[in-house]
Amino acid sequence: MSHTPHELAEEFPNSTEALHSLRESDPHFRKLTEKYHDLNREIHRGETDVEPMDDMHLEELKKKRLAMLDEIRTRLG
């Protein structure tokens, strides 16, 4: 599969250590990042027509991804 954009390390390039540390120490944060990863992959598959989906569904998924990014950003401080 090609490069998947919007991976957390790309979204927060200056916070990779904090991301790793929080994943190790905070079960809620770990679950949140796992859900983000799954959702991001689903969006990528929709955008590349690996799993075609209608535009409205794709936009809803992108909104969820943004909300998750906001929560992750808040937790990173």
Domain ranges of the chain: 8-76
pLDDT of residue 32: 97
pLDDT of residue 72: 98
What's the chain's average pLDDT?
94
Rounded mean pLDDT of 32-47? 96
- Tell me the whole-structure pTM to 2 decimals: 0.90
Write the Ramachandran bin of 5: left for phi over 0, alpha for psi from -120 to 50, otherwise beta: beta
**Confidence class for position 70, pLDDT limits 50, 70, 90:** very high
Give backbone dihedrals phi and psi of 65, rounded to 5 degrees, phi first. -60, -45
Output 3 or 17, whichever has higher pLDDT.
17
